[in-house]
């Protein structure tokens, strides 16, 4: 269908896109949407244009046969340039149409118009895109992030189970319905369409201002290298979206696309702590795990990523006050004695088991403590009292024994002192002839023999031990 132009003054239309001015009044012509006011394939009356992007435009239409409003996305003509790309579109559209999940958009119909434009007919969604929410609020509170992001992961995980890899996860492809009660409903759109985008890019028919520029911030390292991709590539893109929801910006930015691609492959993402110090470290670890460069180091499924985030956020009471963010009641932090983990799910393939604190009940019951009987208490009291009397009696006996020994030593007679020498006796004259009288020899006085030492009394500890042994024999 050719692009037409319209005169804003007289309303005249012109089928030639190269015509610049109105032939009636000379006014500059304005482009006119070729689908507005028409009926597509005889079934869908195109009533208004909801938005447009690099892949095409989305319209609100009315299904004439079923009598309900739908959304019709008409892809750009270069998306289907040959039979191969047309067949690829049909295959991806059929796979996306099989996806029935509360968090994934429902596809009702698809086809290719006579002039070669592919289209998809989908449910008409309420709400706004996550991109518009982030542009408005910059960043979201942790409870609100978890509520939206886990629903996104649920829709993506279901698509992976059906073999559909999204390849173009970004906030623009997430529709959020903010309800009056504060809850939100989330739908992921554009499943399978990114595969056509890659085919067009490989053929070189996409300009530098096309889709690759718009999605480079969310591409996985393997996508940037042109390697094969699987569900783990979507997990990386989910990690970028999660990072942006918390930080208010994507981790890798640069003025040119090639620099962003190099960063995805080689650079580590900036830590969240300096940007959002109120985000718990456990949540930051989940984000960085999703952004691992190697696919095998990431959570292997979108469902596993959602469970990790829920567990990390559920262990910390969130009281963040983010400007413009809708605050919700945070879950109560669990303690180690809680017998159940923060979440209960069946074991999943490629999912590491929960490694939280060990519940106290897992350690088994505490050993039973038994009290003493009355007879045992009485015997212990008697033995203790008897031992006390015996020790006191032994101590008193030792004291009396030592006192008696001291009295005996005091009553013994003191030994006689030796005779004193008579220093005043006159010396005999030296000039007489009388014979010298020999001196009188006095026998020495014998010292009394020392008394043998008194035997030491037995020690108090020895007496106490003998008494306790005798009492013990008696009790037994």
Q: How many CB atoms lie within 10 A of CB 137?
A: 17
CA–CA separation, 468 vs 476, rounded Å?
12
The DSSP element (H or E) to which 59 belongs, if any, is strand 56-63
Determine how β-strand 39-40 pairs with β-strand 56-63: unpaired
CB 196 within 8 A of CB 167: no
- Asked if 69 is an active-site residue, the reply is no
| Secondary structure of residue 324 in the 3-state scheme | coil
Neighbours of 231 (CB within 10 A): 21
- Residue among 115, 132, 168, 473 flagged as catalytic: 168
Q: Decide if 321 contacts 144 (C-beta within 8 A).
A: no
Per the structure block, which two tokens stand in for 83? 């039979």
Burial of residue 315 (CB within 10 Å: 0-12, 13-18, 19+) is middle
Mention every residue, 6+ apart, whose C-beta is less than 8 A from residue 444: 418
The C-alpha atoms of residue 265 and residue 464 are separated, in whole angstroms, by 83
Give the 3-state secondary structure percentages of the chain, helix then strand then coil, rounded to 5. 40, 15, 50
- Of 47, 14, 44, 56, the residue nearest 32 (C-alpha): 14
* CA–CA dist 69, 67 (Å, integer): 7
CA 67 centroid distance within chain? 49
Phi, psi of 30 (to 5 degrees): -110, 145
3-state DSSP call for residue 72? strand
174-178 β-sheet, strand order? 128-129, 174-178, 184-188
Measured CA distances, 454 to 394, 396, 405, 406, 464 (Å): 17, 17, 7, 10, 22
Quick one: 273 exposed, middle or buried, by C-beta within 10 A (0-12, 13-18, 19+)?
exposed
Three-state helix/strand/coil letters over 235-297:
HHHHHHHHHHHHHCCCCCCCCCHHHHHHHHHHCCCCCCCCCCCCCCHHHHHHHHHHCCCCHHH
The residues annotated with a catalytic role in the active site are 168
């Amino acid at each position: 269908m050719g692009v037409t132009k319209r005169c804003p003054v007289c309303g005249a239309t012109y089928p030639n896109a190269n015509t610049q001015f109105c032939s009636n009044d000379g006014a500059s012509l304005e482009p006119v949407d070729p689908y507005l006011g028409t009926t597509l394939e005889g079934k869908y009356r195109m009533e208004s244009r909801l938005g447009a992007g690099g892949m095409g435009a989305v319209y609100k239409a009315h299904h004439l046969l079923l009598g309900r409003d739908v959304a019709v996305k008409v892809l750009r003509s270069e998306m289907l340039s040959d039979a191969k790309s047309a067949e690829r579109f049909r295959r991806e559209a059929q796979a996306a149409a099989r996806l029935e999940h509360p968090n994934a958009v429902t596809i009702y119909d698809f086809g290719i118009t006579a002039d070669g434009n592919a289209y998809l007919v989908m449910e008409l969604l309420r709400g706004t895109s996550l991109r518009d929410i982030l542009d408005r609020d910059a960043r979201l509170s942790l409870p609100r992030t978890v509520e939206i992001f886990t629903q996104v992961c649920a829709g993506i995980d279901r698509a992976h189970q059906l073999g559909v890899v999204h390849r173009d996860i970004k906030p623009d492809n997430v529709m959020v319905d903010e309800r009056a009660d504060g809850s939100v409903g989330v739908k992921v759109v554009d499943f399978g369409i990114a595969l056509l985008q890659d085919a067009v890019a490989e053929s070189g028919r996409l300009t530098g201002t096309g889709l690759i520029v718009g999605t480079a911030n969310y591409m996985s390292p393997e996508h940037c290298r042109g390697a094969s991709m699987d569900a783990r590539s979507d997990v990386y893109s989910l990690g970028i979206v999660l990072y942006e929801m918390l930080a208010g910006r994507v981790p890798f930015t640069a003025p040119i696309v090639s620099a962003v691609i190099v960063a995805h492959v080689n650079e580590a993402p900036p830590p969240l702590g300096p940007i959002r110090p109120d985000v718990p470290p456990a949540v930051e670890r989940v984000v960085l795990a999703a952004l691992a460069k190697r696919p095998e180091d990431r959570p292997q499924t979108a469902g596993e990523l959602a469970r990790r985030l829920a567990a990390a956020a559920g262990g910390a009471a969130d009281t963040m006050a983010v400007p413009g963010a809708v605050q919700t009641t945070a879950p109560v932090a669990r303690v180690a004695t809680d017998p159940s983990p923060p979440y209960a799910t069946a074991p999943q393939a490629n999912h590491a088991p929960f490694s939280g604190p060990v519940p106290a009940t897992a350690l088994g019951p505490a050993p039973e403590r038994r009290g003493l009987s009355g007879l045992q208490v009485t015997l212990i009291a008697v033995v203790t009292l008897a031992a006390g009397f015996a020790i006191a009696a032994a101590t008193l006996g030792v004291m009396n024994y030592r006192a008696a020994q001291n009295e005996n030593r005091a009553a013994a007679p003191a030994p006689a002192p030796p005779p004193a020498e008579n220093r005043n006796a006159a010396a005999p004259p030296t000039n007489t002839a009388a014979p010298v009288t020999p001196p009188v020899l006095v026998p020495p006085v014998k010292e009394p023999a020392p008394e043998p030492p008194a035997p030491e009394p037995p020690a108090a500890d020895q007496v106490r031990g003998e008494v306790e042994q005798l009492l013990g024999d008696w009790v037994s």
